[in-house]
Structure 1
Amino acid sequence: MNQTFQDTIYRPGYYGKKRQSAENWLDETIKKWDNKGNADKKQDIKEKSSAIHNICFSRQIGVGALEIADLLSGILNYRVIDREILECMTQDTRLTKKIIEFYDDHYPGKMAERFSMLIKEKPFLKNDYARQLMKAIIVLADTEPSIFVGRGTHLILPGNTVLSVRFVCSRDYRVDRLSNILNIGRSEAKTKLNIMDIEQHEFFKTVYHNKETGLDEFDLVINRDRINGSFHAARIVACAFEQKFGLTAL
């Protein structure tokens, strides 16, 4: 198979599916929000916001969580918010300003209320990046039901409003999967995973003050060595979501 250098660069969440860029996704989302600007739509959004339930995926790099999220999206008709979208929203001040203006317009005073509450409940969210990430997650979680993948979103959103799922697997599973996706040797795949694991650890150290991931943080833990099929994993999550919130998901 012909392969370019770009093909061997693994982005967490990548599994070979062509995806819309984060910038284009956000531009389209903002346009959609703008089209909901009349009074009736505002009222409709306000009424729905209190009933919105989201799903948060936490995962080891390379475990295949984004593929499962895309399949789950097809079952629940929920949008998928991946790491790249959250990173784009957090780092682009233009987008951050625009989404917060939209949120404040539709939910007067709610951002300040939620932000103040979360800062008290989550004292580790001190630095500017963490606060921007928090604002981005609040806006996305309150405007439309979503499946969040990565970035510790389960640590920010209230546990009674989300189904939090952790995906784990053996190192061999991750190495083999990365090797197959990028068509590279296992040794190279191991090296790439080592680098990304360190980057992920540093992210949580910086944003969440070195918070270790404890399995008691999650409603559901799925071991991909035991539940290998991505669609089977998605169905399990959908069932757990239905059971937790009493919603018809299947």
Structure 2
Amino acid sequence: MKLRQIELVLAVAKFGSFSRAASELYISQPNISSSISALEEELGYDIFIRSSQGVALTNEGDLFLRHSTNIMKEIAGMRNIASGKLHRKFTINTSLNHTLINQAFSKLCVAFEEGDSANFTLQSSNSTQIVEDLYLGKIDLGVFIINKITLDTYQNTLSKKGLELEVFGRLNLNLTIGKHHPLLEEENFEFNKLSQYPHVSYSFNTISDFPDIYAMGLVNPEKMLVVNDINVRHQIITSTNAFGIGCDIHPKTRIIDKIVSIPIP
């Protein structure tokens, strides 16, 4: 087994086909195909399932990819030894776009800003993708909200993949609306009328993560606004009658004086 073969496997897995990987690496497709075929023969199992639509990892290939990703990380670290510099690399993937997460990440950056080298990444994704990326070694830490209904399922999934789950704390799910919202004019807040208004959520939040909340009928699937950025979400909530559903608002949130947070019964 050669390091170059591992690099080719990672490239094919990343781009989804031999031809795309060949194009990106500026080498011929037959060279990639023959090199990976030789590796599969040496290993005694197929890494990829080939089809006219592209390639997919076999179960063995999935495990191979996980180990290969970690190997490449270690090799990168060994190469940095010669420079005499400690290269710090840490990737966090979160489904929780919250001030608390942003503040913690900022503190991490401040703590290492005087170092010789640092490569820290904070990115957003849904919980399913986070688990997969952790399993494959693509990220170092995943942070996400788990509904108590689906907690056992996640624990079983993570355990089977050799991953650990640590519960940091418990948060309430709240409704977030602007202080100008028409429903606040009522003496008693009528949750059943929320479906008349758009719901704004993040693209990395999924209905399957909170089945009980969506089953309550608060969200109208015909009135959905999907964004990626926390500031855009805040802007929509404060300037329209759209509402959001999320955890407790951090007291240092920039728009704390423009919104109302109501616990969902």
TM-score norm. by structure 1 comes to 0.26
Q: Which has the larger radius of gyration?
A: 2
| TM-score of the superposed pair, with normalisation by structure 2 | 0.25
Q: Which has the higher strand share?
A: 2
